[in-house]
Amino acid sequence: MYVKTHMLPKEKLTTVSLEENIGSALEKIIEGDFLSLPVLDGSEFKGFIMKEAIYRRYFDMGCMDKDEFLKGTKVKELYNDNYKSIKEGEKIENASYLLKELRTPFLPVFNSYDKFVGILTHFSIFNAFSEIFGFDKGTRIVVNLFDIPGQLAKLTEVIKKENANIINFAIMDAKILDVVRVILRVDSENVEELIKKIEDAGFKIGEVTK
């Protein structure tokens, strides 16, 4: 799964320009219920302007007239040009890591020619992983198993024999010595029978959610 599939393309973005006044930028932010907006110079990405930064600057300036501040202050005076970017061909997992580590509102996305083509937001990442984990599909079964060779193969063989389809699965540390947690999403005509077969094979079911 790649960034290009889940990014918001430039053509659909609300943006502001460097020479735009803060009043115009704030109006766009409020109207779209955004926390920040991309700042462009023509088609070139320059950084981002945050709602919080606008308010902070106004209050830091003390008794300055509100209208004077909104009309007389330019985006170029307040925008943040310290950003990390990502290529549209990179994997979504890389973008997820960057968003988490950098704590940035979004990642600007560039193509192989270093042209700005869109942004990737936290919400985009959530949707991507929702699709990966199939949150709206099948039955979720959590199985706790010992972290020894062959256990996962044994579990999937049980599921296969019951003619159930594994939509996806993830493996997590159960925080218990030598135990891992396998989170499955399966499509089965008889979930109760499948669960019984898994338990009969010696596995412990942690949770089942339909």
Listed in order, the ranges of the chain carrying CATH 3.30.70.260 are: 139-209
Alpha-carbon dihedral 75, 80, 84, 89, rounded to 10 degrees:
-20
CA atoms of 184 and 172, how far apart (whole Å)? 11
CA atoms of 26 and 34, how far apart (whole Å)? 9
Question: pLDDT tens for residues 16-34?
Answer: 999 999 999 999 999 999 9
Q: What does CATH list as the number for 7-131? A: 3.10.580.10
Task: Residues 139-209: name the CATH superfamily.
Answer: ACT domain (3.30.70.260)
Backbone region of residue 116 per phi and psi (left: phi > 0; alpha: psi in -120 to 50; beta: other values): beta
Question: pLDDT tens for residues 137-152?
Answer: 788 899 998 888 899 9
H-type alpha helices, the chain: 3-6, 22-31, 51-60, 66-72, 92-102, 122-133, 151-161, 191-200
Question: pLDDT tens for residues 97-117?
Answer: 888 787 788 999 999 999 999
Q: How confident is the model at residue 133 (pLDDT cuts 50, 70, 90)?
A: low
Listed in order, the ranges of the chain carrying CATH 3.10.580.10 are: 7-131
